[in-house]
Amino acid sequence: MRVAIIGAGVAGLSTAKVLTQAGHDVVVFEQAPDVGGVWSRTRRYPGLTTQSPKAQYSLSDFPMPRDYPQWPSGEQVQAYLAAYAEEFGLMPAVRLNTRVTAAEPGNGGWTVTTDDATETFDRLIVANGVFCEPAIPSYPGLAEFTAAGGRLRAGTEVHDVEPARGKHVLIVGYGKSACDITVPISQVAASTDVIARHLLWKVPRKIGGVLNFKLLLLTRMGEALFRYLRLRGVEKFLHGPGNGMRTRMINSIGTVSVRQFRLDKHGLVPPGQMEDIVKGAIGLATEGFFEGVADGAITVHHDRTIARLHANDGSPYAELDDGTSLPADLVICATGFTQGVPFLPGDVQERLFDERGNFMLYRQIRPIDVPGLYFNGYNSSFFSPLNAEMAALWIAADLANAVPLPDPASMRRMVTDQLAFMDIATATHHCRGTKIIPFSMHNVDEVLGDLDLNISAPVRASHWLNPINPAAYRRITPALLKRLSSTSPAPRTALPPPAPHPAGRKP
């Protein structure tokens, strides 16, 4: 089939690789001048590193270079993904600097329009990134603030520290990106103030200064500490008779983090328990952040937001919701991302979303009643490359009609149940159904379960106590490809018309 993929981040690239190996003719549209998505030079901010260690942020058959540090920089991850695209011969299929403006179903396939041309494809895969388009709050007084020389930027628009040198800088947000960018900025700015709507728990990279957090949280045991929709094996114990032990295990990380970062001294102990971390963004503490707070280079205003921007004696200022006014030459918003598919027509969007604007995707991949359309990267996890790669296999199998799908009503029920569960498990912090943290490996198991494939039980068991190793999954792709090539190819069918749908609604 001729397949269009929108986006050349890790999800688009891994899908392109698997589908090319499965014999499809693939075109990848990428609006940026380079591959890599969130790691592109057009989006990198100073201080950007992965949150997952390099082994966990790897594709199964392409390890990160040995000389990379444990937490590679944004530049290094981009180079890694560019090398992956080269290694698997993907670059001829990637059209850089090419933005998809419209993608519409019709004539048994999809018509994709870019700024330059319109082309038709048999199938469409959306891998446009759920943390790609920054969400910037709209503040009153922006015009007055800007006229006084103030600048408002998304974190992803700040590529080096120079605009902050000698300036009064406000960073809005308290997630990983906000804290990451704060540290290098605080080393050059006249003042650095962080405006945090809520304090969040932060996991130390090295718990107690010695134990790599991956040994606690990036294992199957770490995942099992959080209650999933359906409990299996050890999980039944941990959320039954072993509940006390489980709670102590998670919350002891919180106790260590309070001690390690002297959070009580700085007045930065978040409310609730470490277990609540799943309800926000699970964030690693940024090296140097609390040290910067301790030496006065960084000031955190917690439980505060910016009420308005304004000018005072011709200089730019920001007023907080408690009336405090702070000089603010540069306001950097690390306030999250929007998850949108602006290139899809309204009637397709209506079919994609539930009444609250959540993406209704079976296995985080397939809309229930939009034929010929798939999503990848809508399974953001602790191991996003692995989840994307496994989803790519699922797509390859579904293109060959080799995925046993429940009937549409059952699929809809399963997706609705999953979203209802994630609403409770994460207090609705699942980015409109696109973030699966902390249940990354449950998703991998379910996706591979549909394909009747998995790694061996002993290796899976070893991931209960050792960090998940994506390299252990490197033989899954050849196994699936072999199976697909030995079955007779599915007939190249025109797409059926969509089924009537009961619950779709515009976001």
Ligand X SMILES: Cc1cc2nc3c(=O)[nH]c(=O)nc-3n(C[C@H](O)[C@H](O)[C@H](O)COP(=O)(O)OP(=O)(O)OC[C@H]3O[C@@H](n4cnc5c(N)ncnc54)[C@H](O)[C@@H]3O)c2cc1C
Q: Provide the minimum distance between the beta carbon of 378 and ligand X in the complex, in angstroms, as a whole number.
A: 8
Q: How far apart are alpha carbons 478 and 226 in whole angstroms?
A: 32
AA letter at 457: A
Q: Provide the minimum distance between the beta carbon of 447 and ligand X in the complex, in angstroms, as a whole number.
A: 15
Q: How far is CA 144 from the centre of its chain?
A: 35
Strand intervals (E) in 259-380: 283-284, 298-302, 306-312, 315-320, 325-327, 330-333, 337-338, 361-362, 366-367, 373-375
**Chain contacts with ligand X (rule: CB under 6 A):** 6-12, 29-32, 37-38, 40, 48, 50-52, 57, 99-100, 127-129, 131-132, 177, 343, 377, 380-384
Q: Which is nearer to ligand X, 21 or 49 (CB)?
A: 49
Q: Which is nearer to ligand X, 199 or 341 (CB)?
A: 341
Q: Which is nearer to ligand X, 8 or 136 (CB)?
A: 8
User: Which residues, other chains included, contact 449 with Cβ-Cβ below 8 Å and sequence gap of 6+?
Assistant: none
DSSP letter, residue 73: B
173 by DSSP, 3-state: which? Answer: coil
* 25-29 vs 94-95, strand pairing mode: parallel
Please report the DSSP string for 114-137 in residue order. ESS-EEEESEEEE---SSSEE--P
Cβ burial of 191 (10 Å; 0-12, 13-18, 19+) is middle
Residue 125's DSSP bridge partners are: 5, 374
Q: Provide the minimum distance between the beta carbon of 398 and ligand X in the complex, in angstroms, as a whole number.
A: 18
Q: Which is nearer to ligand X, 56 or 326 (CB)?
A: 56
Asked if 106 and 29 count as a contact pair (C-beta separation under 8 A), the reply is no
Q: Which is nearer to ligand X, 109 or 377 (CB)?
A: 377
Q: Provide the minimum distance between the beta carbon of 486 and ligand X in the complex, in angstroms, as a whole number.
A: 30
Asked if 419 and 200 count as a contact pair (C-beta separation under 8 A), the reply is no
- Is residue 171 within a helix (H) or strand (E), and if so which, with residue range? strand 168-172
Q: Provide the minimum distance between the beta carbon of 370 and ligand X in the complex, in angstroms, as a whole number.
A: 17
Place of tokens 């040995």: 66
409 by DSSP, 3-state: which? Answer: helix
Q: Provide the minimum distance between the beta carbon of 429 and ligand X in the complex, in angstroms, as a whole number.
A: 14
Q: Provide the minimum distance between the beta carbon of 14 and ligand X in the complex, in angstroms, as a whole number.
A: 8
Q: Which is nearer to ligand X, 318 or 393 (CB)?
A: 393
Q: How far apart are alpha carbons 377 and 151 in whole angstroms?
A: 32
Q: Which is nearer to ligand X, 15 or 477 (CB)?
A: 15
Cβ burial of 409 (10 Å; 0-12, 13-18, 19+) is exposed
Q: Provide the minimum distance between the beta carbon of 146 and ligand X in the complex, in angstroms, as a whole number.
A: 26
Q: Provide the minimum distance between the beta carbon of 380 and ligand X in the complex, in angstroms, as a whole number.
A: 5
Q: Which is nearer to ligand X, 177 or 443 (CB)?
A: 177
Residue 392's closest CA among 7, 126, 15, 81? Answer: 15
Q: Which is nearer to ligand X, 38 or 373 (CB)?
A: 38
Q: Which is nearer to ligand X, 54 or 167 (CB)?
A: 54
315 by DSSP, 3-state: which? Answer: strand
User: Which residues, other chains included, contact 332 with Cβ-Cβ below 8 Å and sequence gap of 6+?
Assistant: 153, 154, 155, 158, 169, 170, 171, 172, 181, 185
Q: Provide the minimum distance between the beta carbon of 314 and ligand X in the complex, in angstroms, as a whole number.
A: 35
Q: Provide the minimum distance between the beta carbon of 366 and ligand X in the complex, in angstroms, as a whole number.
A: 16
Q: Which is nearer to ligand X, 121 or 382 (CB)?
A: 382
Structure tokens at 222: 């770490």
